[in-house]
């Protein structure tokens, strides 16, 4: 895996640069780039999982900045929440969905109990959630 990572790393960085430049040229905020281009591309690629899915996912993670989230535009945030809820929280792509929900601060669940139900049997998803969660939320997860 290390050898492939070394060869793919420059491609991921270049794709992130191209996406960011294209977004800036179009006058898009980072949230527009995620909502209109990156997440829809991941949805298309998720049906037949290839290395391209992983490359786009890695580029998206490079483009993520905590200062951009949560999205202040309620309409755009609702559109992204709907995309993520419909396509990445179905079991097969839960880890991608949890990353999107936690990092982009999306409101995909009516309660923490519903979110926990999705993550509880997936240690990587729990780790990802806990890395972004408040101390009280971390304690809640451990006590469950």
- Statement: residue 3 has pLDDT above 70: no
Radius of gyration of the chain (CA): 16
DSSP state of 110: S
pLDDT at position 117 is 87
pLDDT at position 2 is 54
Whole-angstrom distance, CA of residue 87 vs CA of residue 44 = 10
> Please, which pLDDT band fits residue 110 given cuts at 50, 70 and 90?
confident
Evaluate the CA torsion angle 48, 52, 56, 57 in order and state its sign: positive
Counting residues of the chain whose pLDDT is more than 70, the rounded percentage is 95
- Statement: residue 84 has pLDDT above 80: yes
Q: What's the mean pLDDT when you consider all of the chain?
A: 90
- Statement: residue 132 has pLDDT above 80: yes
């Amino acid at each position: 895996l290390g050898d492939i990572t070394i060869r793919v790393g420059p491609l991921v960085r270049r794709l992130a640069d191209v996406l960011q430049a294209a977004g800036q040229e179009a006058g898009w905020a980072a949230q527009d780039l995620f909502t209109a281009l990156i997440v829809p591309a991941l949805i298309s690629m998720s049906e037949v999982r290839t290395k391209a899915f992983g490359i786009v996912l890695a580029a998206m993670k490079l483009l993520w900045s905590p200062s951009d989230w949560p999205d202040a535009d309620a309409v755009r945030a609702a559109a992204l929440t709907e995309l993520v809820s419909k396509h990445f929280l179905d079991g097969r792509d839960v880890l991608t969905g949890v990353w999107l929900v936690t990092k982009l601060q999306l409101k995909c669940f009516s309660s923490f109990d519903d979110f926990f139900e999705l993550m509880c049997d997936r240690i990587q998803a729990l780790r990802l959630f806990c890395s972004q969660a408040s101390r009280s939320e971390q304690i809640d997860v451990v006590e469950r």
